[in-house]
Amino acid sequence: MSELKNDLLLKALRGENVERPPVWMMRQAGRYLPEYIALREKYDFFTRVQTPELAAEITLQPVRRIGVDAAIIFSDILVIPQAMGVEVLMEEGKGPLLPNVIKTEKDIISLFTDKVEEKLDYVMKALTLTKQELNGEVPLIGFAGAPWTILCYMVEGKGSKTWEKAKEFCFTQPDLAHRLLQKITDITIHYLKAQIKAGADVVQIFDSWAGSLGPEDFKRFAQPYLIQIADALQDDAPVILFPKGSWYALEELSESSASALGIDWCISPKMARELTSGKITLQGNFDPAKLLLPIDDIQKEAKKMISEFGVQKYVVNLGHGITPNIPVDHARAFVDAVKGSQW
């Protein structure tokens, strides 16, 4: 495997000194890029995900176009329910739909946790191909959904603002919920280990809906599984945990074996540093909607954010994924604010 020409992300995740912080954007592959939209017209979502050449091409697009310091593999968190035997449809413009939701013990018993490497072989092929095509330019990030966030989709069947059914399931049938969460955790650990073997230099765990749980319930239904995953991977590659919205968990998670914690814009850099006592690298937390500001203001706001976090132990990113309405030159301005300044 080729040496990395740009290892800023790996250095920041190891807590080593950097001349400037690395920058990438969650959901940078896809959505707002015209070259992605062109591919979307030709191939449906899961064809894009399951064809290694297409997934590799989409992964490389933002590296070429806006010059980010890392690539994140084009895939989806919902390939895990698929590998467990659950049907997942992606309705163009609407989001995911899982027609057969998990309700009973029987449903959970019938879920597969084996052969993930074979079933998701197309992800491994996409990673290996992307790694080759990157030719050491920047590191490659693999990812998975966190068990709680995956449970949300498996029980609710589609996106939700409140995740009422998922919460009802956890609160009224906690034993079943823990069995499901443990099954998702087991397969996710195998999946991420396979991703690292196939070429991922770093992995991120997206707990996108963590913030719909209060502190105590996060500690019951989300945190233990995040910690299991981080512990299982600590000797394989750096792990970034992104428990979106769960600022209350930062203090405890800063003691975990993860290399970094992702945060959203609902907590100040100062407070996040205080809660984590400067112990762990932080990633975030620019409000994606601020990418709609005029370019000069994007750059001013980005620099202000970096000065608040500090240059070391920091990965510049958004506080959640980039949205489809962001002009490409605004996304690039955000990256340039980091790369073009003296720190």
The Cα 297–Cα 195 span in angstroms is 38
Active site residue 48: no
| Under rule CB under 6 A, residue 78 binds ligand CP3 | yes
Catalytic residue of the set 14, 27, 179, 220: 27
3-class state of residue 328 by DSSP = helix
The Cα 22–Cα 85 span in angstroms is 38
Catalytic residue of the set 76, 186, 201, 336: 76
State yes or no: 208 annotated in a binding site. Answer: yes
Looking at beta carbons only, is 7 or 76 nearer to ligand CP3? 76
Report yes or no: 287 and 266 within 8 Å, Cβ to Cβ: no
Interactions with ligand CP3, residue window 57-76 (CB under 6 A): 72, 74-76
Interactions with ligand CP3, residue window 250-269 (CB under 6 A): none
3-state per-residue secondary structure call for 250-301: HHHHCCCCCCEEECCCCCCHHHHHHHCCCCCEEEEEECHHHHHCCHHHHHHH
3-class state of residue 160 by DSSP = coil
Active site residue 231: no
Looking at beta carbons only, is 196 or 311 nearer to ligand CP3? 196
Consecutive H or E run containing 243: strand 239-243
Report yes or no: 80 and 184 within 8 Å, Cβ to Cβ: yes
| Under rule CB under 6 A, residue 158 binds ligand CP3 | no
3-class state of residue 144 by DSSP = strand
Written as one letter, the residue type at 39 is L
| Under rule CB under 6 A, residue 340 binds ligand CP3 | no
The Cα 234–Cα 250 span in angstroms is 18
State yes or no: 76 annotated in a binding site. Answer: yes
| Under rule CB under 6 A, residue 55 binds ligand CP3 | no
| Under rule CB under 6 A, residue 221 binds ligand CP3 | no
Binding mask 106-145 for ligand CP3 (x = CB under 6 A): -------------------------------------x--
Looking at beta carbons only, is 13 or 66 nearer to ligand CP3? 66
Q: Binding ligand CP3 by CB under 6 A: which of 4, 35, 39, 45?
A: 45
3-state per-residue secondary structure call for 63-100: HHHHCCCCEECCCCCCHHHHHCCCCCEEECCCEEECCC
| Under rule CB under 6 A, residue 218 binds ligand CP3 | no
| Under rule CB under 6 A, residue 95 binds ligand CP3 | yes
| Under rule CB under 6 A, residue 26 binds ligand CP3 | yes
- Tokens representing 285 are 């937390």
Active site residue 40: yes
Residue numbers annotated as active site? 27, 31, 40, 76, 153
Question: What residues are designated binding site for substrate?
Answer: 27-31, 46, 76, 153, 208, 320
Residue ranges in contact with ligand CP3 by CB under 6 A: 26-31, 40, 45, 72, 74-78, 90, 95-96, 143, 159, 206, 208, 320-321
